[in-house]
Amino acid sequence: MNVLVTGGAGYIGSHAVQRLLRDGHTVTSLDNLYRGHAEAMEALRPASGGRLEFVKGDIGDRALLDSVLRSRSVEAVMHFAALAYVGESVQQPLAYYRNNTASALTLIEACAAAGVEKFVFSSTCATYGEPPVMPIPETTEQRPINPYGMSKLHVEHMLFDHAKERAAVGKPFAFAALRYFNVAGSDRTGVLGEHHEPETHLIPVILQAAQGRRESVTVFGTDYPTPDGTCIRDYVHVEDLIDAHVRVLGALRPGDQRTYNLGIGRGYSVKEIIDAVRRVTGKDFKVVYGPRRPGDPPTLFADPSKIRRELGWTAAITDLGDIIGSAWAWFQSHPRGYGV
Ligand code: UDP
């Protein structure tokens, strides 16, 4: 299949490109390189069999999209390109609505014009806000508590409404909105890794401390209503996450409108993650206990049973040590990340 991966040079998108290439697909990776890494594309090229084309550009550029979708005969889109920091979304909400919502609209319009009938969307558990039930099933009411979650929820709504309209006129458009929990780890062959600038995610932040690149790790809040007082999250390995995308893409039938949670179905506290990093790396580092980070719900973990039931997907890499170990291996071979 000819697949367009937006955000293909980012952390999750690059893992999607890698997997699609491995599975024999032809991949066009579109990324504006604002936060993505051209080096990730170069790392994938040798094993791509000439089936990878990288296009530097923005999903808000309609003329570019028209040209890429048609010239590459794109049959399916995996849409990852987005800004993805909750805190930043509170500081710059309009940038999030511009990039994540308005540009996604441009992408969906371009897909409609080019006759692309399959669309897999990178959504988020942040669309649920602070849900009253745990674990979280897909039927949970979506009430985001920050612009990031809202910017993604708007895209889900656009996809639903567009799919409904297409079905009504007999030109079915199929999509899946995949609501990620906390994505972690990296490609176990060591080609790809996680490199964010700035880095704010818990596991890479702790790994940087273990490497001595940071003086300390700050635990955001120790007075949450959880067993050890720190926040609990569901960490899913990026390879498993992408495996779910591939399965979903393969299962999409004309007109499908699917939503799935992607998580392992159990949570770990911040303190448990810190202990696990100490164990995996054998390094010690300073931990500082700070106040809560605004907008962080105490506990979030998925009920991933719907995708298991419907598509047989379940996370294969559930051992925290394995998840962290894969990230640590790349950190060690790339001590300063991509390109440095
Ligand atoms: N966290 C922390 N210190 C850090 C970064 C994160 O205590 O330096 C906590 C954060 O409050 C949250 C969890 O770790 O409870 C996961 O945060 P992350 O930013 O990785 O992902 P999020 O859950 O915000 O998507």
| Protein residue closest via CA to atom 20 of ligand 1 | 201
- Top mutation candidate among 148, 152, 201 for ligand 1, by most atoms within 8 Å of CB: 201
Q: What is the pLDDT of residue 295?
A: 78
CA of 244 to the centre of ligand 1 (A): 24
pLDDT of residue 57: 98
Do the Cβ atoms of 135 and 300 come closer than 8 Å? no
Residue of 213, 306, 216 lying closest to 265 (CA atoms):
306
Q: Is any ligand 1 atom within 6 A of the Cβ of residue 231?
A: yes
Helix/strand/coil percentages in the chain, nearest 5: 40, 20, 40
Closest CA to 106 of 68, 136, 142, 52: 68
**Is residue 259 within 6 Å of ligand 1 at its C-beta?**
no
Q: What's the angle, vertex CA 173, arms to CA 170 and CA 175, rounded to 5?
A: 150
* 206 CA: nearest ligand 1 atom: 8
Atom 14 (ligand 1) nearest CA: 202
| Spatial CB neighbours of 127, under 8 Å, sequence gap ≥ 6 | 142, 144, 149, 150, 152, 153, 156, 179
Q: What is the DSSP string of 68-117?
A: HHHHTT--EEEE------HHHHHH-HHHHIIIIIIHHHHHHHHHHHHT--
- Indicate if ligand 1 lies below 6 Å from the C-beta of 219: yes
Which one from 128, 148, 235, 338 is the annotated catalytic residue? 148
Centroid of ligand 1 to alpha carbon of 73 (angstroms): 40
How far does the centroid of ligand 1 lie from the alpha carbon of residue 339, in Å? 26
Could you give the domains of the chain? 2-184+236-262 (3.40.50.720), 202-233+266-333 (3.90.25.10)
98 lines ligand 1 (CB under 6 A): no
Q: How far is the CA of 190 from the centre of ligand 1 (A)?
A: 24
Ligand 1 pocket member 208 (CB < 6 A): no
Nearest-atom index, ligand 1, CA of 201: 20
270 lines ligand 1 (CB under 6 A): yes
CA contacts within 13 A on the Cβ side of 274: 19
**Does the CB atom of residue 182 touch ligand 1 within 6 A?**
yes
The token pair that represents 74 in the structure block: 């794109």
In this predicted structure, what is the pLDDT of residue 339?
A: 79
Question: Considering the entire predicted model, what is its pTM?
Answer: 0.97
Active site residue 148: yes
Please tell me if the CB atom of residue 277 comes closer than 6 angstroms to any atom of ligand 1: no
CA 269 to centroid of ligand 1, rounded, Å: 10
Atom 1 (ligand 1) nearest CA: 202
Atom number in ligand 1 closest to CA 86: 24
- Per-residue tens of pLDDT for the chain, all 340 residues: 999 999 999 999 999 999 999 999 999 999 999 999 999 999 999 999 999 999 999 999 999 999 999 999 999 999 999 999 998 999 999 999 999 999 999 999 999 999 999 999 999 999 999 999 999 999 999 999 999 999 999 999 999 999 999 999 999 999 999 999 999 999 999 999 999 999 999 999 999 999 999 999 999 999 999 999 999 999 999 999 999 999 999 999 999 999 999 999 999 999 999 999 999 999 999 999 999 998 788 999 999 999 999 999 999 999 999 999 999 999 999 988 997 6
Three-class secondary structure of residue 259 per DSSP = strand
Check residue 340 and give its pLDDT: 64
Q: Which atom of ligand 1 is the closest one to the Cα of 219?
A: 7
